[in-house]
Amino acid sequence: MSTATLQKKLFRIASRPRKYFEHPAVIHWKEFRALSDDELFGGTCEKRVLELGSGWGEFAVEWARSHRDQQIVAMEIKPERVVSTLKKADKLGLDNLRILPVNFSWFLTELFHPNTFDIMFVNFPDPWPKKRHWKHRLIQADFPQKAYQLMRGNGLLHIATDHGPYSRRILQRFRQYPDLWKSRMAEPGYSLVRPEGIPETRFERIQSGMGFQPRFMQWERIHE
């Protein structure tokens, strides 16, 4: 199957409407083209934020609640987690959080125009610890370039994981691009303490409770 045929097939799956698409905070990707600012944010805002793999939404909801002048787009694929996030946002009456229920391993740079986001969060991405599953990890060799393309200015990219080998691999990937990204963390490139102003996620709480040590990495996008 050619790449174009596969993309068409995956797009048909990704754009298939679901019941929760009726909620105004859900972004429905209906055509195979990058989403416009209006479709993504529904207006102008101080800062544009993207969270990849937002889970049950505690982080995105807390970020939206405490940054009312920013717009956050949360990408999550599991329907029950999307619905749970929508309920939390509705309870607080938030109008600055939107959900994009698309598989980010299938589509990422196709969804957004270059230079769209000021901040990007990747909180506890699935580590896929077995070597034969590494191909499923979000942070592949080209991720620093993809993230650079999606973000703008001196944007902030924050990645947290409690999986030591994955954190080392992530650091290795970013060290390949010293012209694109500057780490905000001292050697060894991560902090064991959650940076100030960054909310705790559900996964962090669970994993920390079981004795796993989260590692926090942050980079600044290099842009004159």
Ligand X SMILES: C[S@@+](CC[C@H](N)C(=O)[O-])C[C@H]1O[C@@H](n2cnc3c(N)ncnc32)[C@H](O)[C@@H]1O
d(CA 115, CA 128): 29
Nearer to ligand X, 104 or 143 (CB): 104
**Interface with ligand X includes 55 (CB under 6 A)?**
yes
**Interface with ligand X includes 214 (CB under 6 A)?**
no
d(CA 79, CA 106): 17
Nearer to ligand X, 108 or 151 (CB): 108
Whether 174 contacts 181, CB under 8 Å: yes
**Interface with ligand X includes 53 (CB under 6 A)?**
yes
Least Å from the CB of residue 127 to ligand X = 8
Least Å from the CB of residue 78 to ligand X = 4
Least Å from the CB of residue 118 to ligand X = 19
Nearer to ligand X, 50 or 151 (CB): 50
**Interface with ligand X includes 34 (CB under 6 A)?**
no
Whether 120 contacts 52, CB under 8 Å: yes
Which uninterrupted H or E stretch holds 7? helix 3-14
Whether 160 contacts 192, CB under 8 Å: no
Q: Please state, as a whole number, how many other Cβ atoms lie within 10 Å of the Cβ of residue 219.
A: 25
Q: For ligand X, which residue of 41, 104, 166, 190 counts as binding (CB under 6 A)? A: 104
Active site residue 179: no
**Interface with ligand X includes 124 (CB under 6 A)?**
yes
> Quick one: which segment of 53-61, 145-153, 169-177, 208-216 binds ligand X (CB under 6 A)?
53-61
Residue 34: strand, helix, or coil: coil
Could you tell me the sign of the dihedral formed by the alpha carbons of 14, 16, 19, 22, in that order?
positive
Backbone φ and ψ for 94, nearest 5 degrees, come out as -80, 135
Least Å from the CB of residue 207 to ligand X = 9
Q: Which residues bind ligand X (CB under 6 A)?
A: 53-55, 75-78, 81, 103-105, 123-126, 201-204
Q: Which residues are catalytic?
A: 126
